[in-house]
Chains A and B, each alone.
Chain A
Amino acid sequence: MMKNMFKTAIAASLLLAGTMGATFQANADELDTIKSNGSMKIAMSGAYPPFNFVDEENNVVGFDPAIGKEIAKRMGVEAVIVTTAWDGILAGLLANKYDAIVGSMSITEKRLEVVDFVGPYYRMSRAVFVKDDSTAKSLADLKGKKIGATLGETHEKWARDKGDWEVRTYKGLPELLIELDNGRLDAIVVDNIPVLLAIKKNGMALHQMDTPNIEGADDSAGIAVRKGNPKLVAAMQKALDDMMADGTYTKIAEKWVGADIR
């Protein structure tokens, strides 16, 4: 508490003085830090079923935590799961709040500029969903319509670059599905797997549009870590490769997604 109070005093005075100065950069590879701590903090939104979500007992479960825990186990450390809002998840990684994001993040050029990726650990495809009673048959039919995307996801930028739509952004997939269902959105642009599963599980009257040659149909998800940690990347990649080779990965994928999605 005293230490915190002291930090507060420093924080307050520094902020007020407006001296946003030198950037701190760790020099040693974070693999050593993780090993000596005996634990690795992994982040996800906690609101993206079936990849990461809470069960009724409020435990974070799903494909992502299962993969994250397995990687940690193979590295000989314990996984600590952190849930945080998706739009601030990269900022949190860069601010040293956790060691890795195992949260269904797709690997993009832009993200590669600020983080390194382990993986890919699964493949996903961009898809556009509409209600079953929608008259739209192709992307062209959606011109001028309201289309929803998750803030900070690759699909948001894609939808904006198209320029034909009124793009609305939301915190996450649950909000998107609810808004599409209640008619405030005409379509949503998302990754197909979680939505297909949600439709099946909850009996929603939605379907995936037939969008041949849509860009991003072969995206892949990776595990983001801070740059400059080649040893950490190698260790995590090895753990991932090993579990893909020995069947553990398939078991996890079958359990949570119902298919091998590598």
Chain B
Amino acid sequence: MDYDLMLRVAPYFVEAAVITVQISILSTILGLTLGALIAAAKMSSIMVFRTFGTVFVSVIRGTPCLIQLFILYFGGPQIGINLDPFSAGVIGLGINIAAYMAETMRGAIITVDRGQIEASRTLGLSKLRTFYYVTLPQAARLMIRPLGVNINAQIKATALVSTISVVELTYTAQRYIGSTYKPFEMFILAGVLYMLIIYVVGRGVSYLDKKAVIQ
């Protein structure tokens, strides 16, 4: 192992890790927002919304994320959508994870005991209030961990944007392998940084999960 080389290039890997973190955060925010909307659409009483939600989820989950990124980035300009690599990466990954987020949220919401909903409706609470005061607080606790799993997967999926010219952690490692011919050292560096990012996120999710326990 060439430790000297690893130390010399480490600062540039950290810079690249910042890009990876930025893409992770932005695409996760987009994914959570869009995911909540899709979950709502899938559970809507209006047929058009339900159909849209179902089609969205099955199309996105039924095709590889890499293909979705390619369609958006390389195919986009053909239909007038010309995004720079970073935006295309964030939007592509965000749309992809949204489908998974939506299913996780929906899963947690339908797990909440039906009897409670019926009870609060009987007590005269509106549908919206029932959802807000009865269903959501319980569902929210249930979804923290599985959403955390999705975020974990999302961070690792950011490596895919190296294929559309975003120089993040993975492509930085590949570029350095190109000039140093030291694949082991370079991938170890990238791997350690990925692990650090995922460790921090994991701790955050655990903290939220503990906080959310009913006292």
Question: When the two chains form their complex, are residues A173 and B79 in contact, meaning their CB atoms are under 8 A apart?
Answer: no
Q: How far is the CB of B160 from chain A (nearest CB, A)?
A: 11
CA distance A124 to B76 in the complex (A): 35
Q: How far is the CB of B40 from chain A (nearest CB, A)?
A: 16
From A48, A57, A96, A174, B82 is in contact (CB under 8 Å) with A96
Within 8 A of A (CB), among B144-164: 162-164
Instruction: Please tell me the size bucket of the interface on A.
Output: 35 or more
From A10, A95, A172, A174, B74 is in contact (CB under 8 Å) with A95
Q: A4-B91, A58-B12, A88-B164 are in contact. Are A53 and B78 (CB under 8 A)?
A: no
Within 8 A of B (CB), among A175-226: 175, 177-178, 198, 202
Please name all residues of chain A whose beta carbon is closer than 8 Å to the beta carbon of B165 when the two chains form the complex.
43, 82-85, 92, 97
Instruction: Please tell me the size bucket of the interface on B.
Output: 35 or more
Question: When the two chains form their complex, are residues A16 and B59 in contact, meaning their CB atoms are under 8 A apart?
Answer: yes
Question: When the two chains form their complex, are residues B85 and A97 in contact, meaning their CB atoms are under 8 A apart?
Answer: yes
Question: When the two chains form their complex, are residues A95 and B15 in contact, meaning their CB atoms are under 8 A apart?
Answer: no
Q: How far is the CB of A79 from chain B (nearest CB, A)?
A: 16
Residue with the highest number of chain A CB atoms closer than 10 Å, among B52, B94, B179: B179
CA distance A45 to B163 in the complex (A): 11
Say whether chain B's binding surface is mostly helix, strand, loop, or mixed: helix
Q: A174-B178, A174-B181 are in contact. Are A7 and B83 (CB under 8 A)?
A: yes
Question: When the two chains form their complex, are residues A85 and B162 in contact, meaning their CB atoms are under 8 A apart?
Answer: yes
CA distance A4 to B56 in the complex (A): 20
Q: How far is the CB of A137 from chain B (nearest CB, A)?
A: 27
Question: When the two chains form their complex, are residues A53 and B95 in contact, meaning their CB atoms are under 8 A apart?
Answer: no
Additional A-B contact list (16), CB under 8 Å, known A12-B95, A54-B176, A202-B181: A8-B94, A10-B81, A15-B71, A19-B79, A45-B178, A47-B174, A53-B175, A53-B179, A58-B9, A58-B15, A84-B165, A88-B74, A92-B165, A95-B78, A174-B181, A178-B181
Residues of B within 8 A of A (CB): 5, 8-9, 12, 15, 30, 52, 55-56, 59, 70-83, 85, 87, 91, 94-95, 162-165, 167, 171-172, 174-179, 181, 183
Residues of A within 8 A of B (CB): 4, 7-8, 10-12, 14-16, 19-24, 43, 45-49, 53-58, 60, 82-85, 88, 91-92, 94-97, 171-175, 177-178, 198, 202
